[in-house]
Chain A
Amino acid sequence: MSSVTAPRRSGSTAAGRRLKWWQQLVLQAICIFIAATVLFPVLWIVSMSLDPRNISRPTELNLIPPGASLQAYLQVLDRPTANPVTFAELAFNSLRLAGGVSAFALLIGVSAAYAFSRFKFPGRQFMMIAVLAITVLPSVATIAPLFALLNSIRVSSAIMSIVLILAGLMLLGLTLFAVLPAIRLGSAGPGNYFFGAVGLVISFGLIYGGLAPARSEVFVLRNSLLGVGIAMVSGALPFAIWNLKGYLDTIPKELEEAAIIDGASPNQVFFQIVLPLATPALAVTGFLGFTGGWTEFFLSWQFLTDPKDFTLAMSLYNMTGQYAGQIPWSRFAAFSILLSLPVAIVYLLLQRYIIGGLTLGGVKG
């Protein structure tokens, strides 16, 4: 929607009318004021993170604190909260959770989105409304049954390790089976490589999880990152389906029809035509899912008890307000910047596509 009329964009061309000096002055003043309100929290947090004095609370406003240094960042990387975990461990947990959930939702979601977008079958309308209704429902509202159900799944850790390794091997085999023939034949497109890469990452993740030493005798699914991940898929999958369907609807069907006339099978159409065309949508949906997982709070806060499993978002809450204890705010500031930076940078890179997708999702309600 926002990219429809790019040609007319470039503003003050020679033909553009010129503002009177006082108009320019007033408008500039307003714009600068707005920019100041936008930048104020950001500058506050950046300047606080550079404060080397390790004072527990800031008592005055200063843009560049005396003796600015990156000391707070080093402290945060070493041990952000009172729990004996490093920033890297927290980030790795968040990364596994966010990456796993968004990749899984994308993988399963894109084929369902394709079916919704391109085929007519009985019950299509009903199923689409069900998916859309779930995306409107807040994920907090499903926490009670998910907790109860996942909490009742308990197996001995040894069995769990075997299950994880087997699942990983199966997925690995499936991925190779699906991708290798096309690569050997030389007909592999970006779609095949994408699926192959995602499948490989997830299967190695599962095998890694199975090989890691068990922490307790009984494995409670609820009290594990895997359980939190399953609970997150519950909301992330409908979102991915809906978002991707909205995008696939905008891709013209002519290419596919031409391919079918040329004798392409439905699978070839999907892998070699639809998936490459949907790359921006896949990137955006994957990124939005990743951001959701990266900053997910209430499920992990409610489910997890072992500090080894804690995520970045949980630690951020531990550093805020009444929970902060004596943790200096300079560390809170450094921590929130480190937490935001990866998603903020990717957001800026994908900005154009994300905004198109967001408005699209809204328009095609």
Chain B
Amino acid sequence: MATTNPELVSPTARATRSALREGWRQLRTPIIYLLPAFVIMMVVTFYPLAFQVWMSFTDYGVIKEEGKQTLNPFGPGGTTPPNYRPAQFVGFKNYLDIITNNPQFVARLGGNFDFWRLLAFNLWWTFSNVGFHVALGIIIAVLLNVEGLWGRKIYRAIYILPMVLPNIVVATVWRNMFDDQYGSINQLINLFITPFGLDPVQIRWFNQIQDPIPGIGLPLSYYAMLIANIWLGWPFMTIVATGALQSIPKEMYEAASIDGATGMQQFWRITLPLLRPAMVPAAMVGIVTTFNLFHVIYFMSGGGPLGRTEIMVTQAFKLINVNQLYGVAAAFSVIIALVLIPIFLITNKISRATESYDV
């Protein structure tokens, strides 16, 4: 049956073939349009991710006693360099080292690593920041929406500044502002307290090990970064809230005030529920962004003091940049992905769930 005479082909086979041809005709365009992105993402995104999973089960990049191990088998002139040793399979060792805080492994990182503290701090960092962002964002949006307020346009123009500046610049500038000797924050504090006969302070924002508020196990550098990141984050929430506020019909407030509702009641019963559909997705975006906020942590505290303000992404970077433990870093990144997946799924679910809530 190598060749088939078209006349001998049964009608059903012909129908199948024409259906196939029809199917290809319909699929041709989407396939052509997707192909470039598909090929490139396979090579530069998905293949590295798969490679990363493999790496996470090996001792890739471990520096051996016999000298620095090279990562690539190709030496000059096509020879294999003598210090090349292929990565060896180590099973779940990297994962176990991380989640059980293996003392040997922790010592190798400088003694300050504690996975569960890191994870807890990262989550607390995320939710405390986004909480402030959303609350301030709504309050300031409502404030700017008050009718008859002078200079609204000017305030709106000023308030967008933190969004406009690149994150990396904001983080480095705040790092210098919180400098213990020359920073403007300490200078500003002294400007206010010295007239009252108090001695000038030199708060060591990033290096003080003692917790400022006893009982809450958070170092001073956390508060410094919280201030900086609140400054950075609330304008976005204000803009989202303003957009939603302006779509609330004024008649609702008029009706409410005729019925005798006070300003506070109007805020809790009308404004907040109607802001919810816009704010929930924005908060979700904020949560993912803040969870992965590399710049602020890395440039401000650098994870200090004693690694207590490290978050997952800065630790992952240090595992490579400082410790050169590629296998461990790969395992660590897989763990980051595992932590983010539930957050991602919840985000997806909530933001879709709100669609039907829209007014």
Interface residue B37 (Cβ < 8 Å from any Cβ of A) = yes
Q: Please tell me which one of the listed residues A2, A38, A218, A231 contacts residue B158 in the complex, with CB atoms under 8 A apart.
A: A38
A31-B143, A152-B73 are contacts. A359–B243 as well, Cβ < 8 Å?
yes
Interface residue A93 (Cβ < 8 Å from any Cβ of B) = no
Interface residue A261 (Cβ < 8 Å from any Cβ of B) = no
Interface residue A208 (Cβ < 8 Å from any Cβ of B) = no
For window 54-71 of A, CB contacts with B under 8 Å fall at 57-61
For window 129-167 of B, CB contacts with A under 8 Å fall at 140, 143-144, 146-152, 155, 158-167
- Identity of the chain A residue whose Cβ is nearest the Cβ of B313 in the assembled complex: A140
For window 274-316 of A, CB contacts with B under 8 Å fall at 291, 294-295, 297-298, 301-302, 313, 316
Interface residue B60 (Cβ < 8 Å from any Cβ of A) = yes
Interface residue B330 (Cβ < 8 Å from any Cβ of A) = yes
Q: Mark A255-281, 1 if CB is under 8 A from B, else 0.
A: 000000000001000100000000000
Q: Are B326 and A329 in contact (CB under 8 A)?
A: no
Q: Chain B residues with Cβ under 8 A from A184's Cβ? A: none
Q: Chain A residues with Cβ under 8 A from B177's Cβ? A: 41, 44
Interface residue A253 (Cβ < 8 Å from any Cβ of B) = no
Q: Please tell me which one of the listed residues A44, A120, A138, A231 contacts residue B313 in the complex, with CB atoms under 8 A apart.
A: A138
Q: Are A115 and B45 in contact (CB under 8 A)?
A: no
Q: Please tell me which one of the listed residues B147, B167, B351 contacts residue A365 in the complex, with CB atoms under 8 A apart.
A: B351
**Interface majority SS on A: helix, strand, loop or mixed?**
helix
Q: Chain A residues with Cβ under 8 A from B282's Cβ? A: 359, 362
Q: Chain B residues with Cβ under 8 A from A57's Cβ? A: 179, 181-182
For window 270-311 of B, CB contacts with A under 8 Å fall at 278, 281-282, 284-285, 288, 292, 294-295, 298-299, 302
Interface residue A326 (Cβ < 8 Å from any Cβ of B) = no
Complex Cα distance A101/B313, Å? Answer: 23
Q: Chain B residues with Cβ under 8 A from A127's Cβ? A: 34, 38
Q: Are B316 and A141 in contact (CB under 8 A)?
A: yes
Q: Chain B residues with Cβ under 8 A from A2's Cβ? A: 239-240, 242-243, 246
Q: Are A336 and B173 in contact (CB under 8 A)?
A: yes
A17-B147, A61-B184, A121-B27 are contacts. A138–B161 as well, Cβ < 8 Å?
no
Interface residue B268 (Cβ < 8 Å from any Cβ of A) = no
- Identity of the chain A residue whose Cβ is nearest the Cβ of B44 in the assembled complex: A234
Q: Mark B304-328, 1 if CB is under 8 A from A, else 0.
A: 0000000001101100110000100
- Identity of the chain B residue whose Cβ is nearest the Cβ of A120 in the assembled complex: B30
Q: Are B175 and A321 in contact (CB under 8 A)?
A: yes
Q: Please tell me which one of the listed residues B55, B60, B76, B166 contacts residue A343 in the complex, with CB atoms under 8 A apart.
A: B166
Q: Please tell me which one of the listed residues B247, B285, B344 contacts residue A4 in the complex, with CB atoms under 8 A apart.
A: B247
Q: Are B333 and A141 in contact (CB under 8 A)?
A: yes
Interface residue A151 (Cβ < 8 Å from any Cβ of B) = yes
A44-B177, A316-B172 are contacts. A108–B40 as well, Cβ < 8 Å?
yes
- Min CB distance, B241 to chain A, in Å? 10
Interface residue A187 (Cβ < 8 Å from any Cβ of B) = no
For window 1-59 of A, CB contacts with B under 8 Å fall at 1-5, 8-9, 11-12, 16-19, 24, 27-28, 30-31, 34-35, 37-42, 44-45, 57-59
Q: Please tell me which one of the listed residues B37, B158, B231, B288 contacts residue A109 in the complex, with CB atoms under 8 A apart.
A: B37
Interface residue A76 (Cβ < 8 Å from any Cβ of B) = no
A148-B71, A298-B294, A332-B176 are contacts. A238–B285 as well, Cβ < 8 Å?
no
Interface residue A176 (Cβ < 8 Å from any Cβ of B) = no
Interface residue A164 (Cβ < 8 Å from any Cβ of B) = no
Q: Are B326 and A61 in contact (CB under 8 A)?
A: no
Interface residue A163 (Cβ < 8 Å from any Cβ of B) = no
Q: Are B168 and A301 in contact (CB under 8 A)?
A: no
A152-B74, A291-B166 are contacts. A58–B48 as well, Cβ < 8 Å?
no
Interface residue A143 (Cβ < 8 Å from any Cβ of B) = yes
- Identity of the chain B residue whose Cβ is nearest the Cβ of A348 in the assembled complex: B164
Interface residue B340 (Cβ < 8 Å from any Cβ of A) = yes
Q: Among B52, B302, B347, which residue has the most Cβ atoms of chain A within 10 A?
A: B52
Q: Chain B residues with Cβ under 8 A from A233's Cβ? A: 40, 44
Q: Chain A residues with Cβ under 8 A from B172's Cβ? A: 316-317, 319-321, 332, 336
- Min CB distance, B109 to chain A, in Å? 15
- Identity of the chain A residue whose Cβ is nearest the Cβ of B328 in the assembled complex: A144
Complex Cα distance A2/B155, Å? Answer: 17
Q: Chain B residues with Cβ under 8 A from A35's Cβ? A: 155, 158-159
Complex Cα distance A211/B232, Å? Answer: 43
Complex Cα distance A109/B147, Å? Answer: 43
Q: Please tell me which one of the listed residues A18, A30, A114, A145 contacts residue B52 in the complex, with CB atoms under 8 A apart.
A: A145
Interface residue B336 (Cβ < 8 Å from any Cβ of A) = yes
Interface residue B49 (Cβ < 8 Å from any Cβ of A) = yes
Q: Are A138 and B336 in contact (CB under 8 A)?
A: yes
Q: Please tell me which one of the listed residues A1, A58, A142 contacts residue B182 in the complex, with CB atoms under 8 A apart.
A: A58
| Shortest 10 CB-CB contacts between residues of A and residues of B | A2-B243, A365-B351, A112-B37, A119-B30, A138-B292, A141-B333, A57-B182, A115-B33, A152-B72, A145-B52
Interface CB pairs A-B, < 8 A, 23: A27-B143, A31-B155, A35-B158, A59-B182, A61-B187, A108-B40, A121-B27, A144-B329, A148-B61, A151-B71, A233-B44, A238-B41, A295-B169, A302-B317, A302-B320, A316-B172, A317-B172, A332-B172, A332-B176, A343-B166, A359-B281, A363-B278, A363-B281
12 further contact pairs, Cβ within 8 A, besides A112-B36, A119-B29, A144-B320: A4-B243, A11-B148, A12-B149, A16-B147, A19-B149, A41-B177, A119-B33, A137-B337, A144-B326, A151-B72, A313-B168, A364-B351
